[in-house]
Homo-oligomer: A and B are copies of this chain.
Amino acid sequence: MALTVADAQAILSANFAPWVLDLNLKVEMAGEGTARIRLPFDKKLVRVGGTICGQALMTVADTVMVLAVAGASGGFRPMTTVGQTISFMKPVSSVDALVEARVLRLGKTLAFGEIAIRADGRDELVAHATTTYAILGPPPGS
């Protein structure tokens, strides 16, 4: 059964650290192996130079993939990040960031995905990440 945006928002609230939830993340899309989070612009995310800190973008990239895997599995699955690689291509200033994950492969023990990050209203990528997760438990109801 497909995950709804409300389901994904609930998974987010229930499973992530308060310091991550301080980012005030909004799930905007949840599908079968995909999910998108809006990171609202906030002055507390701005580093010297006026741009959103890369640390917030890598944090959201790691977060959104958990929702994309849940979307591919019919619900939240216990999982842990094995590795993440992120490339920063352009700075993001004064607007929200949209962070969209896509599962590349969901195996029995490992899941792979990629994350595209854009500034709100712009087509071009500002950052791109790939991640590998270890799957620690079965899908719900299995």
Contact = CB atoms under 8 A, between A and B. Distances in A.
Nearest to A51: B80
A45 B17 contact: yes
B130 A87 contact: yes
A62 interface: yes
Contacts of A83: 83, 85-88, 132
B87 A82 contact: yes
Number of copies of this protein chain within its complex: 4
Given A18-B43, A45-B19, A105 B130 contact: no
A20 B17 CA distance: 14
Interface in A90-142: 90-91, 104-105, 107, 109-110, 112, 114, 124-125, 128, 130, 132, 134
Nearest to A109: B109
Interface in A15-66: 15-20, 22-23, 42-49, 52-56, 58-59, 62-63
Interface of A: 14-20, 22-23, 42-49, 52-56, 58-59, 62-63, 78, 80-91, 104-105, 107, 109-110, 112, 114, 124-125, 128, 130, 132, 134
